[in-house]
Every structure is written in C-alpha cells, then in structure tokens.
Structure 1
Amino acid sequence: MQLERIIDMANNKYRNAGVADIRKVPSPVNILKLTGNRIVGHTEKPTWVDYSGVYDGRAIIFDAKQTSKTAFPLDNISLHQYDLLKSWSEKGAVTFLLVRFSKYDKYYHLPFRTLKWAWERAITGGRNSIAFAEFETMAAEVKSKDGYTLHYLEAV
C-alpha cells in the first residue's frame, strides 16, 4: 500500500505537469451482500496489472511489487500478469515492474525484457527469483527527484 501511495503521488504530478496520464487500475471486487449503504465482499484475484496509461505517445502498463527478501521471487507475478506484460510489450507498449526492496529501502524499474530473461531462466530449471545484485546491474534504481516522490519515468 505504501508503494502504491508513492506511485499515485508521482502519477498525479506527472498528470498535472502534462508529462503522462497513468492511473491505478482498481482491483475487482466480488460483492456478496448489499444492505443499504453497507457492502460485504472480497477482492478477486486481479486480472490486470496495477497501472496503465499513456506516456510520450505510447501505452504504458506496469505492476508495482514489493519484497522484504534479498531477491525478488518470480512467484510474486502471476502468469496472467506476465502474459499481459509480454503481449503489450510485443505490441510496442512500455512495460515493466516497479519493485521495492524494503530491506534496502530501494526502488527499481525492471524493464520487461529483463523480467522475460529471468522468467525464461526459471522455466528452464534455473533460479526462481531475481537477486538484488542482478537488480543493481540489470535494472535502473529509481529515486525521488525534482519534486516527484518517485521519478520512475526517468528510467523509461
């Protein structure tokens, strides 16, 4: 939730500055009961990624992930999220993960091509995660800058 709040603040600034229009995609809710103004239900498994929009004339979609470990587990990404990112990437959209390593309090922009490399490594019997050291060499660290809580578009 904290990561999403930070991203939402950056997205508001991007939108207000006319840089990009990127919005949080709400999680689907299965309503079980409605009594007056009271709703009882639960969130369903998301069928989309966390954010989508337009930047620099191109579609942009990404998912925000967080881990407290020293590596990012690939099982934090569902197959349908991976397939969606892959499909959009193949069609020219900007696709990536925005990953926070809470242990180090660092944020990274992981381009889809790097995620794809790690995913294929895992399905062929290799490591099922991306080590923090790999993020440091294969992803761009994202920081606060120029009044943005997280200036992640700088890495795009």
Structure 2
Amino acid sequence: MGTWNGHGLRGSTLEELINRTNEIYGERKLALIQKIPTPITPVQLDSGTGRITLAYFDQQSTVDYIGAVQGVPVCFDAKECAKDTFPLANVHEHQVEFMRAFEEQGGVAFLIISYTQKREMYYLPFRNLSWFWDRMKDGGRKSFTFEELDKTWKIESKGAIFVHYLEPLARDLESRDDTEEL
C-alpha cells in the first residue's frame, strides 16, 4: 500500500497537461474523458487547516483515465520516466489485466509516457505494452528502452493542446481496422 505524500503523485505535471487537453477535447466535442480518482483513507490531518497530511490508498486503482472518443471506449494511464529505460514496475499487473480485459470488450487501451529529460511524449498501444509485459513474464527484461519504442508514436503538441493523443489514437484505430480486414 503506497502513501499519498510519497511517490504516488510523481506524474502530476503530466496529468495536469492531460487534464487540460481533455478539457479542450470536451469543449470541442471530440472526446469525453474522465480522470479516475484514487480512493484514499486519511491517516493524519493538520489540526490548523484540516488538510490531509498523510493517507493510504484504499485499493488498487485501474487506470488514470477512461471515457469515449467519437463513440470508441478508451482507457489509458499516464506515466513519467526520467531515464531512457522505462521500468515495467511502473505499471501494475492489475492495470495490465484491466487494460487487456478492456480491449477484449472492444475498447482501446494505451499508455502515455513522458520522457522528462528528452521532453518527449509517446503513445504506447496496449499491444506493445503487452509484448514488453509478456517478455518480462517469460524471464526477459523488466523494462524497455527508449530505443525499443516506435518513434512514430510520438505525441505532438498542437496549439493549446499539449498532449494531443487523438492523432496516435486515430492511427491505432486505423491499424486495427487494417488487421481486421485481413
């Protein structure tokens, strides 16, 4: 069980950018995406302000965001990575299983990874995450390198939309349509 004032809020800058992006998508009627709050149990309160100073996560959360894009159900998680190697420990097994089940129900699951030192963001389709995950489960690397990422999944900013993930999502959907036709 993690603590609220510990490492659980590392991705808050990325999440702020995604939250703003989702607001714009909503205003433009492009998507309806909600941030899923992580339930916490307060343990310690500041007596002067009544603010929570220590809390524990109640349960394992699924993913950070869930919603629909033009009628397509989507779910995704936002991760930050400070190095060129992304540790798969940053993704929990229950999240992978949720994303797998979500895709089996016809939805689209993915990660948005911000490489903070490179100032670049990438869309990682679930099928790619699943491949890295299965490799780990089969005794392989417990991470994947920046070099292993398909750089064509880079997320660009467009005007006020800092994390414009709809473009790679559209490409992901197109590639699924192409495979289904074969």
Q: Quick check: TM above 0.5? A: yes
1:27–1:43: 8 Å Cα contact kept in structure 2?
no
RMSD, aligned α-carbons:
1.9
AA at the equivalent of 2:42: I
Distance in 2 (CA, whole Å) between partners of 1:43 and 1:14 is: 32
Deviation by residue 1:36-88 (Cα, 9 ceiling, x = unmatched): x8254514054221001111212110000011111111010111111111110
Q: Would the alpha carbon gap of residues 43 and 32 (structure 1) be closer, same or farther in structure 2, given more than 3 Å must change?
A: closer
AA at the equivalent of 1:149: F
* Structure 1 SS opposite 2:117: coil
Q: Residue 144 of structure 1 is aligned with which of 147, 154, 157?
A: 157
Distance in 2 (CA, whole Å) between partners of 1:109 and 1:133 is: 14
More displaced stretch, 40-49 vs 18-27: 40-49
- Taking only the aligned residue pairs, the percentage that are identical comes to 34
Deviation by residue 1:8-50 (Cα, 9 ceiling, x = unmatched): 0100000000000001111111134788x82545140542210
Distance in 1 (CA, whole Å) between partners of 2:56 and 2:113 is: 22
Provide structure 1 residue ranges, at least 5 long, that are not aligned to the other structure: none
* 1:25 aligned residue: 36
For the pair 1:61 / 2:75, whether they are aligned, the reply is yes
Provide structure 2 residue ranges, at least 5 long, that are not aligned to the other structure: 1-11, 170-182
For the pair 1:38 / 2:50, whether they are aligned, the reply is yes
For the pair 1:98 / 2:115, whether they are aligned, the reply is no
AA at the equivalent of 1:57: G
Quote the offset at 1:147 in angstroms. 3.1
Q: Would the alpha carbon gap of residues 72 and 47 (structure 1) be closer, same or farther in structure 2, given more than 3 Å must change?
A: same
Q: Residue 8 of structure 1 is aligned with which of 19, 43, 46?
A: 19
* 2:172 aligned residue: none
Quote the offset at 1:146 in angstroms. 4.3
Structure whose CA Rg is larger: 2
Distance in 1 (CA, whole Å) between partners of 2:113 and 2:136 is: 19
* 1:49 aligned residue: 63
AA at the equivalent of 1:155: P
TM-score, normalised relative to structure 1: 0.91
Q: Would you identify which runs of 4 or more consecutive aligned residues in structure 1 move more than 2 Å? A: 31-35, 37-41
Distance in 1 (CA, whole Å) between partners of 2:70 and 2:159 is: 19
TM-score, normalised relative to structure 2: 0.78
Higher strand share: 1
1:72–1:130: 8 Å Cα contact kept in structure 2?
yes
Distance in 2 (CA, whole Å) between partners of 1:84 and 1:119 is: 14
